[in-house]
Structures are given as structure tokens and as C-alpha cells.
Amino acid sequence: MRLASAQGRWLVAAMVLGSGIVFLDDSIVSLALPAIDRDLHAGVAGLQWVVNGYTLMLAGLILVGGSLGDSWGRRRVFIAGTVLFATASVLCASAWSAEVLVLARALQGIGGALLTPGSLAIITASIHPDDRGRAIGVWSGLSGVTTAIGPLLGGWLVDTVGWRSVFWVNIPLAVAVVAIALRHVPESRGGVSRLDLIGAGLTISSLSALTFGLVDQNWWLVGTGVIVLGLFVWHQLRAPAPLVPMALFADRVFAAANLSTFAIYAALTGSMFLLVLHLQYVAGYTPLQAGLATLPATILMLLFSATAGEIASRIGPRLPMTVGPLVAAGGLLLYLRIGRDADLLTDVLPGAVVFGIGLTILVAPLTTAVLSSAPPDQTGIASGINNAVSRTAGLLAVAAIPPLVGISGPDFARPEVFGPGFRAGIVLCGGLLVAGAIVSAVLIRGPGRSDRPQPGEE
């Protein structure tokens, strides 16, 4: 269908709203964590699991969600994921204990893993090739707007209505998504293949053991997670229909881009998790003020990511993927100035702006490097793998960084303990960004070509 047609516009609207719910939840819930702690007495481990219960299922099952959509019908799986996400949101909003909230967040993650891969796949399958690039651009831009309003909306809702409202807001959006999809979105399928249930089970088992082990500092569990991860790789190398085609990692650029992704998104997620809590527990900010502090990075990415992508297509991704993380690391170092009664304009926003400039420089070139290094018929799975890597990095960062920097038990509510832990965590995240820059400088080729022979070079 053409994008300009009524059905085309409705289809893109449904995909934007559907994926937008997931993006919104990524940014909106973190601002509610202190309020959740006060109400449900969650403690540091409980707050980690409010974030990680969601991310664990999303990271572990997002590739499964894409495979199910290809086999069973993308619209069907997209709608099922949306319904599950909404149902879990009701349970989150009604949670009477931290344990119930964590369980509901895990169900949200499963719903997100079902609906997220389908949004772009449905656009690609349904929109006319001449309009497809523009449709994806509209999807990206409007999804970015959803991410941008998340901190403001979340902060305002927590301040004025309460933390439960950040979950209730998902319900009308989900109802609209399902209604539009049932009426305007055609069914589509990809190549039907056998679902790699063993691979999915090994993924969830490995990430669960690693996350539990890091949160509880149980190194036996961490070791178990590493062993199961090794079994997952072994299985993928031998499975007839692997969840992750390991041959993609034979390409140096693809492997390097995903390694850089892991370091960068661990730093991004870990630093933002600490920042919004530090601003509220130590600096005394309201949730809305803390949300404002995270806004510059999103605005800069919305305004200039397309330009950064165009530049990277001309000069290659290596330079922006090297410079961007270093600039972002400089922004994190500016956050070290944030203490008690920190001023938003002079103490917080300079770091947020520099951090946002760094992310703007690197994110679009990183995506370009991943997609350009994969064969044309595997760009979808390449994008899915990179998405799973970034989610996994964030999951492990939120699990590992607080105990590594000495934040545990009731320490979130103790400024004299949380403050030094925050500074140590920010330095650690800055180091991860530098590591990502080094990987890019050494292993990413300048013109953005992969190691695969190009036409005429065989």
C-alpha cells in the first residue's frame, strides 16, 4: 500500500503507537523508582528487579518474537504482544508488593518482545517499496518523540497523580493500537522455519543466572550463567534453524559493532539508572525535575541523528563511532559535579548536553555499521541481534554496577553512601564508553565496508 493512502497512514500510526508504548516504558518507569521504593519498600535489589524483570524478558525473547511473527503472522503476534503488555500494565498499576510488581514487569517484557520486532517488519512487508524509506523515517521520528516525552510525562505523573499512573497510561494507547491494527493492518508472514526453543531457553536461563548472580553477588550463579551462555553459542553453531546465525559474527565489522554496542549501552543504561536516582535521593529533585535533566540528550538525537547518519554514510562509521563515545564520556565526567542542592542549569544540564552530543554522533553510525555489514537478506535478523545486545548490556549494567560501587540494601536513601557510589559508577560507565571507542577505532573500517568481498573482488 502507499504511505499517502488512508490505510497506509493508519498502519504506520498503529506501529508507532505500539512500539511507542515500549519506548515510553523504557524511560518513564525509572523516574518512578524512588516513589515505588517509598510505597512498596522495594529496597535496592527490588528497584533493580523492577527494571531488570522487564529488560530480562525483552532481551531474552525479542528474537523469538520476530521468529514467531514470521511463522504465525506478524499482525497476530503484534496484537497478542500489545494485549499482553496492556494486561501486565494493569497488574503493575495494581501491584500490592514489590514481588508482584517485578512479576508484572516480566510479563510486560514478554509482551514487548512480541510486539517490538513486528512493528518494522509489518511496515517493510506492507508499505510500497517507493514509500518504505519514508515510512521507516516517520516511524523512527515519531518513536523518538515518544521517547522524548517519556521523562516529562513520567515526572509529571509521579508528581501529580502517583507512580501507578505511569502504568495506567499504557492502557488507552494499547486499546487504540489493537483497534487500528484489527481494522487497517493486513496479515503478513516471513519464511516459516522451526522455532529454536532450545536456544530461547538457554538465552533466558543464562541471562537469569547472570542477573540474579550480579544483583546478589552470588558468583556461583554468575559462573553458571557464563557456562550456559557458552552452551547457547555451542547450540547456535549446530542448530539447523538457529535463533542467532553465528556466521554473521565472522564479519569483523558486525562483530566489532556489536561489541561496541554492548559497552556503549551498558554505560548509557547504567549511568541513566544512577542519575535519576541520584538527582532525587541526593540532590533533592522532584521526579519532573529529574526528567528534565534527561531531556537534552533525547532532543539532540531527535534533531541531529539524521544528519549524523548522512555524514557517516559519506565518511564511514569508524570516526563517529570513535569520537562519539569519547564525547559522551566527557559528559558523564561533568555529572561528577552533581551534589546536594545541585543547580539544574549550571550543574546538571552541561553534562546532559555534552552527553547528548556524544550519543547523537554515534548512534546512527552504529546502526549503519551493523546493517551494512550484514547480507541484504539478513538485515532484519542483524538489527534484531543488535537490539538484543543493547538490551542485554543494559540488563547486566543495572544488575552489576550498584553492587560493584558499594550501593546495596537501603543505600539508595542514604545520600552519604549513594553519593560516592554514584560518582564511582559514573566513572565506571565513562570507562565503558572509552572501551567502546577503542573497539571502534581498532576494528571498524573507515568507509563502512565489511570484510566480505565486494562485487568484482572475488
335-358 pLDDT, tens digit each: 998 988 888 888 899 999 999 899
Q: Which of 434, 53, 423, 431 is nearest to 275 (CA)?
A: 423
Neighbours of 300 (CB within 10 A): 21
DSSP codes, 39-107? HH--HHHHHHHHHHHHHHHHHHHHHHHHHHHHHH-HHHHHHHHHHHHHHHHHHHHT-SSHHHHHHHHHH
Confidence class for position 432, pLDDT limits 50, 70, 90: very high
| pLDDT at residue 456, rounded to an integer | 40
Q: What is the mean pLDDT of the chain?
A: 84
- The residue-averaged pLDDT of 264-277 equals 90
C-alpha cell at 456: 568484482
Question: Residue 452 pLDDT more than 60?
Answer: no
- 331 or 294: whose pLDDT is higher? 331
Confidence class for position 144, pLDDT limits 50, 70, 90: low
Confidence class for position 303, pLDDT limits 50, 70, 90: confident
- The residue-averaged pLDDT of 251-276 equals 91
Q: Which of 68, 85, 83 is nearest to 23 (CA)?
A: 85
Find all residues with CB under 8 Å of 132, minimum gap 6, and list them: 123, 124
169-215 pLDDT, tens digit each: 999 999 999 999 898 888 877 665 667 889 889 988 999 999 888 87
Question: Residue 156 pLDDT more than 70?
Answer: yes
Cα gap 400→388, rounded to integer Å: 18
| pLDDT at residue 41, rounded to an integer | 85
- The residue-averaged pLDDT of 151-171 equals 88
- The residue-averaged pLDDT of 67-75 equals 80
Specify whether the CB–CB gap between 3 and 131 falls below 8 A.
yes
| Residue 52, φ and ψ in degrees, nearest 5 | -75, -30
Confidence class for position 453, pLDDT limits 50, 70, 90: very low
C-alpha cell at 178: 489493537
Cα gap 260→366, rounded to integer Å: 9
Q: What is residue 316's three-state secondary structure?
A: coil
C-alpha dist (Å) from residue 135 to 13, 20, 39, 122, 327: 10, 15, 43, 11, 31
| pLDDT at residue 326, rounded to an integer | 96
Q: Is 406 left (phi over 0), alpha (psi -120 to 50) or beta?
A: left
| pLDDT at residue 190, rounded to an integer | 66
Question: Residue 438 pLDDT more than 70?
Answer: yes
32-50 pLDDT, tens digit each: 888 898 899 877 778 888 9
Cα gap 411→430, rounded to integer Å: 22
Specify whether the CB–CB gap between 121 and 25 falls below 8 A.
no
HEC profile for 384-437? HHHHHHHHHHHHHHHHHHHHHCCCCCCHHHCHHHHHHHHHHHHHHHHHHHHHHH
- Of the chain, the percentage scoring pLDDT greater than 70 comes to 90
